[in-house]
Amino acid sequence: MMRWNWILLGLLVIVPVQAQELPENLEGLGLRESTMASRDMPGWKVPDKILVRSFFGQDVAAMLQPLTPDVELVAVTTVEDAVANIDGAQALFGFCERSILEAADSLHWVQSYFAGVENCVSLPAMQGGMVLTNGQRLSSPTIADHTMALTYGLVRGLDLFQGAQAESRWDMQAAPSLMSFGELSGRTMLVVGLGGIGSQVAQRAHALGMKVLATRGSRREGPDYIEYVGLGHEAIHLAKKADIVVNAAPLTDATRGMFNKEFFAAMKPTAYFVSVGRGQSTVTADLITAVKTQQIAGAALDVVDPEPLPADHPIWSTPRIIVTPHVAALSAETWQRIWALVGENLRRYVAGEPLLSVVGIERGY
């Protein structure tokens, strides 16, 4: 059967191109195909109506409509829009809100644009046989780049020099901290959560000459550029060996609050903590204490708890903590991969084929 490949030009104009495999920009990401065809899933039917959330000013429904001319794609921009239009819709793209799901009468499939679905899988309506797909691995290369940027920022003291620059001071007082850590090459990184993001981070660290250790929740297998892959409970023990600890784990019952005072006490006082996974996996107060008391050397956070951070939150004023506002996934390439996945899954669902990136509801990712 013919598949669609896409070229995205200008403002995300989609040009269909014949291809035999996945859309080109989805190749090599390790996306998983469901073992069950859509047509074999209880409740499936060729859809008549799908709600599609417009995002970042893009009318995604209009972009996708040429792929399925016989299916009504309804553009919605708000939760209220979705609630008002959900009657008769078999699928919902871009939203997973309790009020929408409770108002639905025909909903079978929810497609999230992003990887994080912890607030979706916990909804009662998702426990009744509904199918959920997400954007896992689509932003992994971009987040890995951001992770390495945060790592370099800590190791080279860019936060310290940026503070001096803001005050127009030529200040070399941070130089001793640069001498104490040295270079990344030869150092050890622990990646907690060896999924799509973790694998991309590990690959970059290895390319820089670092020794890479990792943990994952399900098995010990990993690429050959990782020296050791342990299970989740081993993270605190491996932290003792690491110069950089990266949180790339999904939020589950097992990872919620795992980066706590006991974990930070296990780290080297010269080590840095970088978090791009989920904010609630870190106990914020324990992290602040660990940095302030120099139990660890510093931290860089793209995800925090709470989020967004209130203006008076102590993280803002804690030296050696770098914060970026949950932007690690943002790039033109990420958006192109999201729209490619959504379109490919739409084509597959209508044709009754296996979907990509189906979430295990009970597992949470």
The SS3 assignment for 85 reads helix
Instruction: Return d(Cα 127, Cα 119) in angstroms, integer.
Output: 13
Residue among 212, 200, 206 nearest 334 (CA): 200
Of the residues 27, 80, 262, 307, only one is catalytic, namely: 307
Of the residues 146, 278, 347, 348, only one is catalytic, namely: 278
Active-site residue, 278 included: yes
Instruction: Return d(Cα 310, Cα 307) in angstroms, integer.
Output: 8
The SS3 assignment for 346 reads helix
Of the residues 3, 156, 206, 326, only one is catalytic, namely: 326
Instruction: Return d(Cα 285, Cα 260) in angstroms, integer.
Output: 9
Peptide bond into 308 cis (omega under 30): yes
Q: Are 88 and 51 in contact (CB under 8 A)?
A: no
Burial classification of residue 149, based on how many CB atoms lie within 10 Å of its CB (0-12 exposed, 13-18 middle, 19 or more buried): middle
Q: Are 112 and 91 in contact (CB under 8 A)?
A: no
Rg (CA), the chain: 22
Active-site residue, 307 included: yes
Q: Are 231 and 216 in contact (CB under 8 A)?
A: yes
How many CB atoms sit inside 10 A of residue 292's CB?
13
Pair of tokens at residue 321: 């903590």
Instruction: Return d(Cα 192, Cα 230) in angstroms, integer.
Output: 9
Active-site residue, 206 included: no
User: Which positions are annotated as active-site residues?
Assistant: 278, 307, 326
